[in-house]
Every structure is written in C-alpha cells, then in structure tokens.
C-alpha cells in the first residue's frame, strides 16, 4: 500500500478503547451509523424535552450521559451503568500499547481511596507483609466504617496518610510492592 | 384528641410521605430547615418551615431534642412525627414530648426503651416463648470476653451495637483471631452512630432469610399484624429490596410468625405501628431478632398489598382512636416490591456518589409508586444517607410485579449521579431471585456482578464517546482556522489603518 494511502487510512479511524481493553472502531467522517455484525445500523441521537440525551438503536431507547470528560478520556453512563474509554487514533493506540508493555515491569501497586472520607485506622506500616484481601486501612464515609483491602500480595513500601486525615476519592493511601 | 398540626422531625422522602397523609387528613404540617440542605424539596411541601439554619448547636439538627421540643412549643403544634432514623427510636425524646404535652406519633417511651435495649428485648422474647438466637447475657466489655462467649456458643458469631439498627456497628466474626479487630470496629462504629459503644454477641445463622412482620396496635389493647415483608436482599445488613408477601411464607407460617410478633409487641403494651424482625432458616424455623418501634423505610409494600395507609393509622392511634379493623379483615392482595434507589456507585463497591440530580423521571402508572425527596436540581450531600428514591411496583402476582419492575426500571432515568438502578436490573435478571430462591447471602454469593448491562450498551457508549470527541476536534479545528484567518487579516488591516 502506498505511504499516502496508509496515512489516509489512519486518519480516517477513531477507536474507543474500553477499560477492559476491548476496542471499538469507527470510521471517519463519523456518521450516525454503526457497523454491527456485518450490517450498517442507523443510530439516532436525541435529546428529549426533559433534558435527557438518548440513543435510539434497533427501536430501543438508551439513556446516556457523559459523566466525566478530560481530553480523550471519557466516562459514559448508559442505562445506569458507566463505562470508561479513551478515544484513540490508530497511531496513539499503538503508542499506548507499547508504553503499557514497558510499564508492566514495574510492580508497585497503589491502594487508593474508593470514596472521600476520614482515616480511622491504619493497619499496616512500612515493611508490613500484606495478603490479597487483607484490610490495610479503615476509612469512614457516610457514617460507615469501611475496610480498604489490598488487592495484591506484597510488602508495604509507603504509607501516605496519617490517622484522622481526610482524603479525597482516588487519593493514594498506601503503596505496595507486589511480591 | 384530634391532631390539628404535626411537626415532622425528619427530612427527605419520609417527610414528604408523612405530609402527604397529613394533608389528606387536613392537618397542618411543620418541617425543620437545616443549613445542610436549605433548598430541599420537603420544605416546600409543608405548610410552615421552622428555621434551624443558624447553627448554634453542636448536635445535628434532627437529633437536637430540646431544640425540636422548644420549636414545637413555640409553634404550638399538637404532635410530632419522627419518621425513621434520627430520634424515631429515642425513648428520651418520646418522654420529653409526653412531659411537654406534645403527642408523640409512635409508641410509649417505655416500649421504645425496652425494645431498643437488645438484652431486655431478648428476655421478653424468651419469657413469651418466642424463639431467639443464643448469645451473650447483656453486653460484652472487651474482645477477651467476646471470645469467651463466642467459644461457648460456637463461631461464627455476630457483634451488634446494643443501641443499633440499620446495619451499623455490626460485624460477623468467623475466627477467634479476628475478634480483636472486629470488636473495635463494631464498638467504634456504634459509638459514632449511636453515641453508645456497647456491643453484644449473638450466634450467627448462616444464610438465613430476613422476614419481618408489620404490627398495628391501638391504645385500647387491640393488636393485629399486616403480614410479612421479605427483606433478604441486603448488602452489609442494609436492605436494598423488599417485597410483600414473601415467596416462602405460606398461610400457616404467616399465622405462626404473626402470632409470635404480636406476643412480643403485647409484652410491652405496644401501640402505634411497629415491626418485628425475624431470621428464617432452611428448616423454616424462625428466630426473633429485634422490634423496630417506628415506621420503616419499606412500609409501602405493606400498604400496597393491604390497602392500609400506615401513617394515617399511626396518627389515628396517637389520637386515641380504636383500630378500624380486626385480624380477620386483613387480606394480602397481590404482590409489591420496593427498590431502594441510592446515590451509590455500584461499580465501585457501592461507594457514595455525591452531586446534583440534574434530571429525574420515571414512568407513571397505577402499578408504580415512587416515594422520593429529590427532584431536578436537588443536591446530594454527604450529611445524610444515600437513599434518594424508592420505586415500589405492584402486580396481581409476583411474576406480574417482576414484569412491571423490569419495565419501570428501564424507564427510570436519573442524570447527574450514579445510582443503584443498575444493581436493581442485575437482581431482576437473576433466575434464583426470579424463582424466589434467595437469602441474605444473595449479594455476596449468588449475584456475582452487582450491575447489569447488555453488550450493545458498551458499543453505543463507545460510539457516543467517539462521536463527542470527533465533534470537539472538529470545533477546535474550525476555531483555529478562524484564528489563522484573523491573524492573516489583522496585520493587513492594521497596516492599512496606520497608513
């Protein structure tokens, strides 16, 4: 294939990369049509008078909403379930996959706060051995005490918080070196 | 005495629910406005607002007994309805109302006190031949004592807050080595939630059903039950879905459990609406857990199958009226299921999801009832619990109710926050749930994925993301072309003008 054509082809595609690593390709220019099991199916994007956005697809309505958007990162809520994507071009996707394969060598795992709250108790310290499923932090949110557990086996490398600290969602609480 | 005015010492959907019945009965209503949600919907539903926004008290507004009593006296209200939570099961509050000649719409302070104290409640059950689970004689002081008791009745055991309810201050302990940590978790949580860190131990029944009976009793000694509610679908002891009747309770078991519930209630000369909670095991043996001396979140399912307005009955009983029906008049008709819609992110372990409800809408039909305290623009704050709405569906039988529910949930749209609606869909899809074959371990064992979606939905979401992204890129390109154009033009124009 001549170079020009390859370039053209790459330019005419956008890919949604789902957090599960599944990809969804759409050709540009984008039309309100989706290729689905070998057929092209029309998609209708609508907004109803109440202010809900919805897609009509195969005669069914799907309520959907962008709940987070940051450059090419999207979180889309559809019928009450959210899905995270990054929108990539064929080139950026290739680069991303390459970088990820480089990154796998690193074995540090971060335990983050799943919700905003207050640190009630820290159950580990630097050097503690933890097992998958073991509680490392007690976090209080909405009047409930929640156990934050490690999702890997390993050694605690860093404790970033102190007792009674208030943390935001996604704050890194503890770093663990995978064993 | 006829009640002409009620102060509703609560917020959200239950405040609106109580006001609805009060309006029907031509009763004037008062509510409390707090700085935590000064624009909340319940405020507009009441006839008059009592302003607590100037926060001079350390005590949270809806727990401030003396401030509420003072406000009620200043406004000269006849009665206070506490709703659920907050002061609903606080004997001191009921007592203070009595002292100040304000009618407390609920049971006597003595009944609240005795049922609220789990040790006394258990003694009452034992003395009235109601089966119960063995456990510690009273509260346990520390983890060591807890281990001792646990060994005598056998692991697993459950630690429970003596003043508790709603799943807080509760921990299951499987092994001796977990006791110390679990004990401190349970008692800390109890301290925070109820201002009382006392906990007791009970034998833990693995995978029971949670079945509760609705009681109505007047001040003249008449007492009946309104059948059961099945509340086995729970997460960490918090109910998520309730139905009436239960798929496993037949008339014979209903009679047996209902009579036991009545014996318990009678033992404290109970009046008003109340609920007796039981565990039901595989052998269809039941055990008394506790009595809730208030209206419950899940009361609508009982209302739909009995046709009785429980709030109205509470008010009439408080006025001293006699119950207008006898046990034989109570017939359960059809099937009702309630779904609690919480502002929680099911995909992140049910973590709280704050934000603003941009839009909320649901399908209207005679078989659908929605009790909610939010509407378009309502803000979900971290100060109160995460329940934003209750969807209650009705059908002639369970299958019809399930069918109704599937359709209603599909058309129940909320924009602006993550909710448990996707969880409701997942439960409805589960064949064991549909067959009525489930217990309190349903969430942890049976339902592997706590939310449900179709593969098509991911495709459509992907399309939507790409479409939005492409539109943004296009817009930006247009802008930069405009800018380039203007850059080309401006210097020329400028030069011309300068010349």
CB-based contact A80 B425, cutoff 8 Å:
yes
Q: What is the pLDDT of residue B487?
A: 56
Residue with tokens 């606080």: B90
Pick the residue from chain B with its C-alpha nearest to A41.
B460
Q: Which residues of B touch A45 (CB under 8 A)?
A: 464, 467
Q: Which is nearest to B184 in space by CA: A143, A159, A145, A115?
A: A145
Q: Looking at residue A52, what is its pLDDT?
A: 86
Nearest residue, CB atoms, A79 vs list B358, B453, B470: B453
Separation of alpha carbons B122 and B132, rounded Å: 7
**Is the Cβ pair B460, A51 closer than 8 Å?**
no
Neighbouring C-beta atoms of residue A77, cutoff 10 Å: 23
What is the SS3 assignment for B21? helix
> Percent of chain B beyond pLDDT 90?
79
CB contact under 8 A, B349 and A79: no
Active site residue B294: yes
Cβ contacts of A58 on chain B, cutoff 8 Å: 456
Which residue's structure tokens are 């200043």?
Answer: B74
Q: Give the DSSP H/E element, type plus range, for residue B431.
A: helix B431-434
pLDDT for the residue numbered A2:
55
Q: What is the pLDDT of residues B238-275, one digit of tens each?
A: 999 999 999 999 999 999 999 999 999 999 999 999 99
CB proximity list for B123: less than 8 A, separation 6 or greater: none
The pLDDT confidence band at residue B430, using thresholds 50, 70 and 90, is very high
Residue B497's pLDDT is what? 45
Query: What residue has token string 């490398």?
Result: A157
Q: Is B499's pLDDT higher than 50? A: no
Residue numbers in A near B456 (CB within 8 A): 57-58
For residue B446 the two structure tokens come to: 């049976």
Task: Kindly identify which residue of chain B lies nearest to residue A80, measuring between CA atoms.
Answer: B422
Q: Containing H/E element for B407? A: helix B398-410
For an interface test with A, the pick among B339, B389, B427, B461 (most A C-beta atoms closer than 10 Å) comes out as B461
Query: What interface predicted TM-score (ipTM) does this complex get?
Result: 0.76
Interface contact A18-B467, CB threshold 8 A: no
Hey, CA dihedral for A34, A36, A42, A45, is it positive or negative?
A: negative
Q: What is the pLDDT of residues B106-132, one digit of tens each?
A: 999 999 999 999 889 999 999 999 999
Query: Which pTM value belongs to this model?
Result: 0.82
Region B184-213: mean pLDDT is 90
Position A103 pLDDT exceeds 80: no
A116 contacts B460? CB cut-off 8 A: no
Separation of alpha carbons A11 and A28, rounded Å? 8
Range of A15-29, B162-176, B228-242 with top mean pLDDT: B228-242
3-state secondary structure chain A: CCHHHHHHHHHCEEEEEECCCCEEEEECCCCCEEEECCEEEECEEEECCCCCEEEEECCEEEEEEEEEEECCEEEEEECCEEEEEEEECHHHHHHHHHHHHHHCCCCEEEEECCCCEEEEEECCCCCCEECCCCEEEEEEECCEEEEEECCCCEEEEEECCCCCCEECCCCEEEEEEEC
């Amino acid at each position: 294939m001549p170079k020009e054509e390859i370039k053209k082809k790459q330019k005419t595609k956008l890919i949604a990369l789902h957090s599960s690593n599944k990809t969804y390709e759409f050709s540009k220019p984008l039309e309100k049509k989706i290729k689905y099991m070998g057929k092209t199916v029309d998609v209708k994007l609508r907004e109803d008078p109440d202010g809900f956005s919805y897609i009509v697809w195969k005669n069914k309505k799907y309520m959907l909403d962008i709940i987070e958007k940051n450059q090419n990162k999207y979180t889309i809520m559809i019928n009450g379930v959210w899905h995270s994507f990054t929108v990539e071009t064929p080139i950026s996707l290739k680069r991303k996959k390459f970088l990820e394969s480089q990154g796998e060598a690193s074995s540090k795992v971060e335990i983050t706060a799943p919700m905003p709250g207050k640190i009630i108790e820290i159950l580990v310290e630097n050097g503690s051995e933890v097992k998958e499923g073991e509680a490392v932090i007690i976090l209080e949110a909405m009047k409930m005490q929640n156990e934050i557990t490690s999702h890997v086996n390993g050694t605690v490398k860093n404790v970033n918080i102190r007792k009674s600290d208030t943390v935001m969602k996604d704050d890194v609480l503890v770093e663990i070196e995978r064993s | 005495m006829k009640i002409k005015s009620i102060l509703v010492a609560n917020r959200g959907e239950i405040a609106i629910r109580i006001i609805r019945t009060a309006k029907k009965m031509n009763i004037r209503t008062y509510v409390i406005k707090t700085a935590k949600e000064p624009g909340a919907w319940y405020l507009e539903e009441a006839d008059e607002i009592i302003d607590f926004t100037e926060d001079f008290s350390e005590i949270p507004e809806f727990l401030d007994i003396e401030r509420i009593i003072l406000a009620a006296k200043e406004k000269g209200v006849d009665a206070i309805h506490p709703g659920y939570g907050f002061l609903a099961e606080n004997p001191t509050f009921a007592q203070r109302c009595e002292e100040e000649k304000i009618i407390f719409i609920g049971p006597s302070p003595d009944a609240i006190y005795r049922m609220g104290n789990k040790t006394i409640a258990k003694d009452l059950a034992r003395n009235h031949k109601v089966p119960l689970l063995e456990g510690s004689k009273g509260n346990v002081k520390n983890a060591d004592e807890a281990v001792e008791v646990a060994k005598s009745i056998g692991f697993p055991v459950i630690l429970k807050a003596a003043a508790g309810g709603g799943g807080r201050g509760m921990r299951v302990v499987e092994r001796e080595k977990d006791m110390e940590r679990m004990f401190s978790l349970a008692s800390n949580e109890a301290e925070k939630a109820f201002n009382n860190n006392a906990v007791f131990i009970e034998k833990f029944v693995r995978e029971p059903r949670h079945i509760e009976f609705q009681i109505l009793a007047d001040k003249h000694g008449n007492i009946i039950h309104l059948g059961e509610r099945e509340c086995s679908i729970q997460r960490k002891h918090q109910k998520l879905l309730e139905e009436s009747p239960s798929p496993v309770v037949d008339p014979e078991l209903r009679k047996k459990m209902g009579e036991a519930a009545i014996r318990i209630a009678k033992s404290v000369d109970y009046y008003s609406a109340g609920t007796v909670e039981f565990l039901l095991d595989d052998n269809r043996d039941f055990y008394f857990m506790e009595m809730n001396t208030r209206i419950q979140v899940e009361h609508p399912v009982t209302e739909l199958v009995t046709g009785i307005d429980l709030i109205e009955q509470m008010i009439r009983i408080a006025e001293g009226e006699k119950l207008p029906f006898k046990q034989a008049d109570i017939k359960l008709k059809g099937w009702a299921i309630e779904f609690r819609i919480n502002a929680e992110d099911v995909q992140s372990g049910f973590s709280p999801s704050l934000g603003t409800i941009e839009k909320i809408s649901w399908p209207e039909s005679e078989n659908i009832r929605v009790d909610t305290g939010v509407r378009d623009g309502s803000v979900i704050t971290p100060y109160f619990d995460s329940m934003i709405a209750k969807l209650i569906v009705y059908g002639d039988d369970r299958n019809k109710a399930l069918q109704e529910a599937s359709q209603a949930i599909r058309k129940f749209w909320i924009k602006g926050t993550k909710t448990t609606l996707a969880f409701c869909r997942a439960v409805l899809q589960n064949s064991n749930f549909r067959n009525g074959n489930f217990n309190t371990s349903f969430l942890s064992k049976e339902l592997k994925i706590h939310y449900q979606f179709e593969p098509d939905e991911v495709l459509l979401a992907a399309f939507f993301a790409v479409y939005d992204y492409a539109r943004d890129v296009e817009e930006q390109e247009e802008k930069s072309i405009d800018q380039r154009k203007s850059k080309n033009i401006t210097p020329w124009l400028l030069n011309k003008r300068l010349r």
